[in-house]
Amino acid sequence: MPDSERLRERPFRICSWIYLPRLPSVQGVSTVRVGFEELQHTIQQAFETAGMQRDDAAICARIHAESTLDGVNSHGLNRVPRFVQFIHEGWIHLGAEPQLVREFGALRVYDGARAPGVLNALWATDRAMEIAAEHGIALLGLRNTNHWMRGGSYGWRAAGRGYILIAWTNTESCMPPWGAREPRVGNNPFVMAVPRPGGPLVLDMAMSQYAYGKLQTTRLKGERLPHPGGFTSDGVLTDEPGPIEQSQRILPTGLWKGSGMAILLDVLAAVLSEGLPTNGIDALRQGSCVGCSQVFLCIDPKKLGGDAALAQIADSVVEYVEGAEPDEAGRTPEYPGEGAVRRRERQRRDGIEVDNGMWAEVRALAGQ
């Protein structure tokens, strides 16, 4: 039975993990190290082979490679086969471009025309920066788009160019709302990014405590989650990943709080883009995030206190937080985005660790 048919039988169970075509990278199990340029080039070839124009393929490949470089393989290399599959299913429209739906002051609504989600989101981020440069602020809703992969990519881009970005996407249902046993809310990733000369602050958080990819890798290592991550089919809270993968009852981040925030993010994504809420994405019964709604709120700090004032505030917060006495678990407090930079620098030096099987599959898609 093809995936598309399996999906139609499980309208509320179209979580990302169903599509995971190969096991993601598990430390020490079966990984290989590749250089950034080789990774990017191979992904680009895979996308061109799937029919993407060269320029588009290059941009998409760079975003996937950068996410992998930062250690987010789940939304980098590991998504390439699924993205290619979505193209073949006809769910993603190569060559399509966002169309203006509405314009009022600093507000914009665009229809993403089902173009590749990464291209749409990158375009929307750049457009929001242009509008913010003029108006001080931009609120851009993007409907009818596709999976943007790592949401943080757009935060890094805006913050790297001196802009504040708050952005989010809705998704298909993949998490039960608090008080329910059935997935009816998305994990709706939420991004906040602030520029800072010493390194931007980039928060990229889904409304689930753990991603399905984390459950999978933890199970494969024979380990337990550091903290409970969901419920068994019988409604028992557990830190064992396997039963949660089976029940699809992942825990909202912060329990009832992440559930409530997921609901508000969904309503606002749909309202501000005049697009589909999660229930509408579920009703499409296509792949993960196909037809989703996104919001890009961008602010130009130069229209407020300016870059120096921003840097002074951001530095003071970073220094204060990181000056706190570390806990007994051997952790140290960090600002959001710090870990990504550390992994980025290490993997640029030592090579990027990827799953052997996944790397072989993407190379095959690239005709290598």
Residues designated catalytic = 75
For a second copy, the binding residue among 254, 308, 345, 367 (CB under 8 A) is 254
Q: Is 246 in the site for a second copy (CB under 8 A)?
A: no
Pairing mode, strands 99-104 and 164-169: unpaired
**What's the min distance (Å) between Cβ of 214 and a second copy?**
13
For a second copy, the binding residue among 46, 61, 205, 215 (CB under 8 A) is 205
Nearer to a second copy, 297 or 354 (CB): 297
Q: Is 260 in the site for a second copy (CB under 8 A)?
A: yes
**What's the min distance (Å) between Cβ of 349 and a second copy?**
25
CA dihedral 236, 237, 240, 244 (to 10 degrees): 80
Handedness of CA 367, 29, 352, 202 (dihedral sign): positive
For a second copy, the binding residue among 221, 303, 342, 348 (CB under 8 A) is 303
Classify 312 as helix, strand or coil. Answer: helix
Q: Is 316 in the site for a second copy (CB under 8 A)?
A: yes
Quick one: which of 205, 207, 155 has its CA closest to 184? 207
Nearer to a second copy, 1 or 329 (CB): 329
Q: Is 267 in the site for a second copy (CB under 8 A)?
A: yes
The whole-angstrom separation of Cα 187 and Cα 344 is 25
Q: Is 177 in the site for a second copy (CB under 8 A)?
A: yes
Enumerate residues 271-290 that contact a second copy by CB under 8 A. Answer: 271-272, 274, 277-280
Enumerate residues 319-358 that contact a second copy by CB under 8 A. Answer: 320-321, 323-329, 331-336
By residue count, the chain amounts to 368
Contact call for residues 336 and 202 (beta carbons, < 8 A): yes
The whole-angstrom separation of Cα 305 and Cα 4 is 52
Enumerate residues 100-139 that contact a second copy by CB under 8 A. Answer: 102, 104-107, 109, 135-137, 139
Quick one: which of 90, 94, 3 has its CA closest to 47? 94
